[in-house]
Chain A
Amino acid sequence: MATTALHPAARTYRSTLYEWITTTDHKKIGIMYLINSFIFFFLGGLLALGVRSELAQPGLQLVADQTYNELFTMHATFMIFLFIIPVLAGFGNYIVPLHIGAPDVAFPRINALSLWMLPMAGILLLLSFFVGSVPAAGWTSYSPLTQDRPLGSVGPGQDLWLVAVVLVGTSSILGAVNFLVTIFKMRAPGMTLFRMPIMVWTVLVTSVLGLLATPVLTSALIMLFIDRNYGGAFFDPRNGGDAILYQNVFWFYSHPAVYIMVLPAMGMISEVLPVFSRKPLFGYKAFVFATAGIGALGFSVWAHHMFTTGAVYLPFFSLMTFLIAVPTGVKMFNWIFTLWRGKLRLSTPLLFALGFLSMFLIGGINGAFSAAVPVDFALHDTYWVVAHLHYVLFGGSVFGVMAGLYYWFPKMTGRMLSEGLGKIQFVLMFVGFNLTFFPMHQLGLAGMPRRIADYAGGAGWNDLNLAATVGGFIIAASMVPLLWNIFVSLRSGKPAGDDPWEGNTLEWATSSPPPPYNFDHLPEIRSERPLFDLRHGHAAPAATAVLPQSSSTSH
């Protein structure tokens, strides 16, 4: 204990780069999570533009079949494993310790490890472009498509993919352990479980999902790796293996993973909506139990991705899938009644949160349709599914991420983002998103299969596909005001002050950006809105009815 990081001798000069690479500060790590995630968001977006450009017209104009398969495979891989999951973990990293009044996460060095595994995984995936065999079996990497044989994913690219995804998974598992210990053990005095911000609850449930589901994916990927490289027979029917087995172990992770990909975004808009409606969240406990309910039910629905295999018990998985609509519906009520008769401030974070609400609603409803077995039989592997998943993951999660970005950017940097540019981005993104993905519903209903590079000119799909392609480029254009906004703000943005939004939660009680170890002093925590209590304490006598926060109140 002679020397610690706090020892004066440690204050010698270190370059900024060295400081960031070696940091264990959850805030810097959170920001690096976000930067890394957005790099892969843009790469994945470029690949998506490739996909949409090829589909703009019937016929193969730009790429060959195989290249097309590589495009959509890597698009989904980047977006899912290196954008959505890590970007939410990044916000969690930055916000959760602040939200619960902690100086850092429980295991800061493991936190840094979780972070640095992600760019490593990204590099492995990018390497596959240079070894001449980009994975082309879809992000699901079903066997036998992924087996090393003609018409499969030949070559080392798929192996790089497997290793990369195992790395991402390990990062998620370690991150989940970190979040759970932090949330259970590091809360400030007075921060009881039911006074935690909803964001923290969603990260908690997400971490439980990640902890229990991700290792199963790891086992699936390792078995596939053994099949591909060491003559294993897990998924190969020729040697007594079972191709459906892969789908089971894959979806046992990947269905809970869709909640991993959306719950923290739900938490983020649940922070934004009360602040910008000037009301507490309607039905706090109901929301918490709904979140836990989604997490629990999330483990019993994986086989709804496999209805058409004929190898799963349809009524059970269909029923459980419908049941998930119940806690999700509870949350819709929470959000709508938070807005109801609120004093709305239509700032950019709220706009994106409203975008989440409306788009996620569509994604939820078309998802519930697909839970019906006969409907699923008709729609399986059509563009309907592409529409559904993008309404949930883009219309839901990405809009939520943008809401969070605009909401917390002032806290992270001390600078405001421009409202004007933010609104331009919102309008472009909202219009582009719907133009891209709404037509896919009709395309799916008309029978257009997903993951196909070409379609017949006479099938009547030309106009809708063209519309979707135009929409895709509008989404891409909406990134210009975002990047410009960030650039301008970092150079000369309006100083944010500690609490630009009149927030409710503890992160607004410290400076922007917060100092190392976050807080010098904390306000008293008597409710889930300690900052509201601080501002309006004299007007909130109800708060005194709550239990005293700790013995330290008697000072």
Chain B
Amino acid sequence: MASDSHALTTQEHSPVAGLAHDQRGGISNVVLGMLLFITSEVMFFAGLFAAYFNVRANAPQWPPLNVETGEAFHLEILPLVGPATVLLILSSFTCQFAVWGIRRGDRTAFLRNIGVTFVIGVVFLVMQATDYILLYEEGITLSAGTFGTTYFTLTGFHGAHVFGGAIMLAVVLYRGLAGQFSARHHDAVEAVSLYWHFVDVVWILLFSLLYLLPGKAPAAV
């Protein structure tokens, strides 16, 4: 008797009963999925960070000595890494401005800010690549002991995530130019912005860890 009235349809004209399921309000599937995926990414970096702290704690001094030159490794914030950091932090702001723009339905502001964010992401990658080349010329390489291995693995995987994020931004930009987003429908924008903020936060942690955290003097004998 009453069973008919409990059919899945919550929207009368839904083509297939039940497809309207995920539209009951609350957080959207896409955004929740992205948050969960970011959670897993946090754990991925946690593994790498744990490895970094582990080798650092085991080392007699940090930064350790370069076997080739006999001097302690040293990383320069200028000229590249500092500006790149400022740029990446800036890009989180532009990314958020884009989200706020599309939430208001202001497509121009949205497209402009997403475009700027994407460009900054690419510039960051170029700067990182340049920095890598300089480091390799100084003899700081992936195979130069624990220092080089951890440095390049941590920053390299961060760079890979910037690359991934830039691809996502490009897709969002492309879809935005095609007019696919509006004040009501822009889950992808929200999700990609979350990912971009995550990539930014990882870099802030990495920068603090690799460039700002004081080293460890060799134990007095």
Contacts and interface: CB of A to CB of B under 8 A. Distances in A.
A181 B32 contact: yes
Contacts of B133: none
B149 interface: yes
State the main secondary structure of chain B at its contact with A. Answer: helix
Nearest to B28: A185
A201 to B, nearest CB: 17
A167 to B, nearest CB: 15
Contacts of B6: 189, 521-524, 549, 552-553, 555
A203 interface: no
A226 B153 contact: yes
A272 B29 CA distance: 31
Interface residues of B, number: 50
Contacts of A173: 37, 40
B46 interface: yes
B70 interface: no
Interface string A224-235: 001100111110
Contacts of A213: 43
Nearest to B58: A242
Interface stretch (B7-15, B123-131, B201-209): B7-15
Contacts of B21: 102-103, 185-186, 188
A69 B164 CA distance: 39
Contacts of B17: 103, 517, 519-521
B142 A181 contact: no
Contacts, number: 171
B8 A188 contact: yes
A258 B7 CA distance: 39
B36 A248 contact: no
B47 A218 contact: yes
Interface string A171-188: 001101110110011101
B146 interface: yes
Contact of A241 (B4, B5, B40, B55): B55
B171 interface: no
Given A177-B36, A231-B143, A240 B55 contact: yes
Interface residues of A, number: 58
A232 B150 CA distance: 8
Contact of B40 (A176, A186, A222, A524): A176
A106 B8 contact: no
Contacts of B27: 185
B32 A249 contact: no
A106 B29 contact: yes
Contacts of A252: 47
B51 interface: yes
B212 interface: no
A185 B21 CA distance: 8
A216 interface: yes
Contacts of B22: 106, 185-186
B33 A216 contact: no
B185 to A, nearest CB: 11
Contacts of B55: 233-234, 240-242, 245
Given A188-B21, A215-B47, A252-B47, A240 B36 contact: no
A460 B47 CA distance: 44
**5 residue pairs, one from A and one from B, having the closest CB atoms:** A231-B143, A219-B47, A555-B5, A215-B44, A215-B43
Interface of B: 2-8, 10, 15-19, 21-22, 24, 26-27, 29, 32-33, 36-37, 39-48, 50-51, 54-55, 58-59, 64, 141-143, 145-146, 148-150, 153, 157
10 contacts: A6-B16, A103-B19, A180-B32, A216-B44, A219-B48, A231-B141, A241-B146, A245-B54, A518-B18, A521-B7
